[in-house]
Structure 1
Amino acid sequence: MVTTFDKLFEPVRIGAWNLRTRTVMAPMTRCFADDKTGVVGPHVVEYYRKRAVDGIGLIITEGIVISPRAKGNPGVPGLYTKEQVESWKPVTEAVHKEGGTIIAQIWHVGRASHHELTGGLPPQSASAIRAEGFVPRFRKPYDTPEEMTQEDIREVVAQYAQAAKNAIEAGFDGVEIHGAHGYLIDQFNSDVSNRRSDAYGGDLAQRLTFMKEVLTAVIDSVGVDRTLIRFSALKIDNLDYMWEDPEKAIQTFVDAFRETGVTMIHPSTMDFGQVLADGQTMHQLVRKHWDGIMVGVGGLDTETAETALREGIIDLAAFGRPLIANPDYLSKVKKGEPPLPYNAKQQLATLV
């Protein structure tokens, strides 16, 4: 049993960031921006400031959309207008004042949306295949998306790059590209949602073309040492989805990452301890093929995180729900105090 957390609380240099600890605040959708403008207010400033005060090494924001058509939930923030960029400056200033590091997760939900959220236009996706289910917090069925033309693809790649530049202007220390969970980039990656016959379709290696183009554009805009990419098998509209051959799929992703030159990745799973193949978890399989920086996530507790860090499986450990319920989560860990349990209904309506 782990009783000390020396690795978890170890300062570390990752990319361009001098982090106080190896802990990460995982990105979590909160929907507390102004729904019409995508602007964030003082309550969001305080929300992130409190986690910085507590000593979190790296804060990854909630998903921030890169365009009006990227939106998939009411109340999500944006990074594509001047007003939005200005609204984030007090957030980054507050985090930096407390000695923290914060990066923006840049996001396009693709088909996981509804025309009433995307300015009356149909959602965009790799192919015109509707997702199953309902838009979270909106309770209307996902719309059938419009298949993106190559011109659309070029436009969206440019929007990712501009959002990354806007993040730096807003004072963020870098960006995480949300390429996971069945959102737009992952819709190109998946054979479930990508039936294209052009350069963006085909086998997995070929379907990763869009992801590679986004990664390259963002790296060119803000630098490889300020760029993180999140990927997964998990789909929000199909929680049971898994690659047919997990290790082969992971190796294909890793090969694609190497092509772009990215050095920091964030494999995402619901269960960090879930065995996928040959007795190994997702992060163990990724580590088998990847020697760069890796963020671990998936219902981690401090003991599991400390062990994974000591074994070199991951370089940073990300925590989600415990940090919503406990702004002082790390302080409680250090003191040996039990954290408050996460209560979904209570936390949905309150920024603490």
Structure 2
Amino acid sequence: MNKYTKLFEPVTIGAWNLRTRTAMAPMTRSFADDTTGAVNDQIAEYYRKRAQDGIGLIITEGVVISSRAKGNPGVPGIYTQEQIDSWKKVTRAVHAEGGTIIAQIWHVGRASHHEIAGGLPPQAPSAIAAEGKVSRFGKPFDTPEEMTEQDIKEVVGQYAQAAKNAIEAGFDGVEIHGAHGYLIDQFNSDVSNRRTDRYGGDLKKRLTFMKEVLSAVIEAVGVERTLIRFSAFKIDDLAYMWEDPEAAIQTFIEAFKETGVRMIHPSTMEFTKPIARGLTLHELVRHYWDGVIIGVGNLDAQTSEEALEKGTIDVAAIGRPLIANPDYLTRLKQNEKLADYEPKKHLVQLV
């Protein structure tokens, strides 16, 4: 008898009728053509296998919204017709297996290098370089160019167009990547945002760019097909936490409610780690948010089942175990041992 009854329960969130309360977490694989940003048959098969296994919601690896949004070699895009057409083979493969798939639309901001970002300096809210080196490229992050208000307007438009392109490619919706120290999160953070205009200041003001992107994407494809991911930690500072986590979460939730978004994806490295008042990130979010919550953070089946039972989350996103086990849900049903994730064999980058 399957002991994970909640995990295998069908659920409807937004426009998506999911077969199970599971999601495939977005994980960069760098399988795309580095020159064109188009995806291939290998990527179509990669996602098809997870849909065949019954994963409820597949969230793709980060898909960049422009050449300047790119931060790693081999990542796919969704801003040219060639890229859009190449994704159609992926969405057709997933839908043929009865799956649901959304594109995670992504701009890395300062987490890049001019040799990757179309020969131009990376874009960011302020001209402050990130710490560390570009993954799979090895060179230090460039000092970015501070975005003008016109730049901001153009990038907001690129997010909206990328969302429309995703629907044209056959995706069921999009996730806006607003987490992990990439462009939206760079605006959200006082570490990377020192602006004195309406996009800078206290946290509420720094969330202005995020709200504008959310509103534009919702207008483009509808609130029922829009999800947003957010976090405290950054790729260049995994230990980062808001000074007052509960107050920060309240401010984020207020911003989300202003835009009308109904589905959110709080991201953490450790799902069970308390961050304030003995409560975890997702428990604090649930305290202030009655909409859909996608849970993520090194989740296993048992932790997912318990969080779903408590109502802390509505869908559990599984990451690395799904790389090592394309038949993850089948193994759970049959009580079979899961293959271990091996970094050297199953190279994956946090997105």
1:342 paired residue number: 341
- 2:219 maps to amino acid: D
What does the per-residue CA deviation read over 1:222-274, in whole Å, with 9 as the maximum and x for residues that have no partner? Answer: 00000000000010001111000000000000000000000000000000001
How many residue pairs end up in the alignment?
348
In 1, Cα distance between equivalents of 2:328 and 2:87: 24
Q: In the alignment, does 2:299 pair up with 1:294?
A: no
* Aligned pairs for 1:144-159 within 5 A: 144-159=143-158
* Aligned pairs for 1:57-96 within 5 A: 57-96=56-95
- 1:284 maps to amino acid: E
Q: In the alignment, does 2:8 pair up with 1:9?
A: yes
Please state how far the C-alpha of 1:348 moved relative to its aligned partner: 2.4
- 1:19 maps to amino acid: L
What does the per-residue CA deviation read over 1:205-228, in whole Å, with 9 as the maximum and x for residues that have no partner? Answer: 000000000000000000000000
What secondary structure sits across from 1:317 in the alignment?
A: strand
Please state how far the C-alpha of 1:338 moved relative to its aligned partner: 1.1
What does the per-residue CA deviation read over 1:160-208, in whole Å, with 9 as the maximum and x for residues that have no partner? Answer: 0000000000000000000000000000000000000000000000000
1:44 paired residue number: 43
Please state how far the C-alpha of 1:3 moved relative to its aligned partner: 7.1
In 2, Cα distance between equivalents of 1:56 and 1:50: 9
Percent same amino acid among aligned pairs?
Answer: 74
Unaligned runs of 5+ in 2: none
In 2, Cα distance between equivalents of 1:338 and 1:248: 41
1:123 paired residue number: 122
User: Is the contact between residue 70 and residue 116 of structure 2 (CA under 8 Å) also seen in structure 1?
Assistant: yes
Please state how far the C-alpha of 1:119 moved relative to its aligned partner: 1.2
What does the per-residue CA deviation read over 1:76-104, in whole Å, with 9 as the maximum and x for residues that have no partner? Answer: 00000000000000100000000000000
Following TM superposition, where does structure 1 have runs of at least 4 consecutive aligned residues deviating by more than 4 angstroms? none
1:104 paired residue number: 103
Q: In the alignment, does 2:268 pair up with 1:269?
A: yes
Unaligned runs of 5+ in 1: none
What does the per-residue CA deviation read over 1:116-136, in whole Å, with 9 as the maximum and x for residues that have no partner? Answer: 001110000000000010000
Q: In the alignment, does 2:183 pair up with 1:184?
A: yes
What secondary structure sits across from 1:64 in the alignment?
A: strand
2:284 paired residue number: 285
Please state how far the C-alpha of 1:111 moved relative to its aligned partner: 0.1
In 2, Cα distance between equivalents of 1:241 and 1:47: 32
1:27 paired residue number: 26
User: Is the contact between residue 2 and residue 333 of structure 2 (CA under 8 Å) also seen in structure 1?
Assistant: no
What secondary structure sits across from 1:104 in the alignment?
A: strand
2:321 paired residue number: 322
In 1, Cα distance between equivalents of 2:25 and 2:239: 22
What secondary structure sits across from 2:82 in the alignment?
A: helix
So what's the TM-score if we normalise by structure 1?
Answer: 0.98
What secondary structure sits across from 1:266 in the alignment?
A: strand
1:201 paired residue number: 200
Please state how far the C-alpha of 1:4 moved relative to its aligned partner: 1.1
In 1, Cα distance between equivalents of 2:303 and 2:322: 16
So what's the TM-score if we normalise by structure 2?
Answer: 0.98
- 1:311 maps to amino acid: K
In 1, Cα distance between equivalents of 2:159 and 2:29: 21
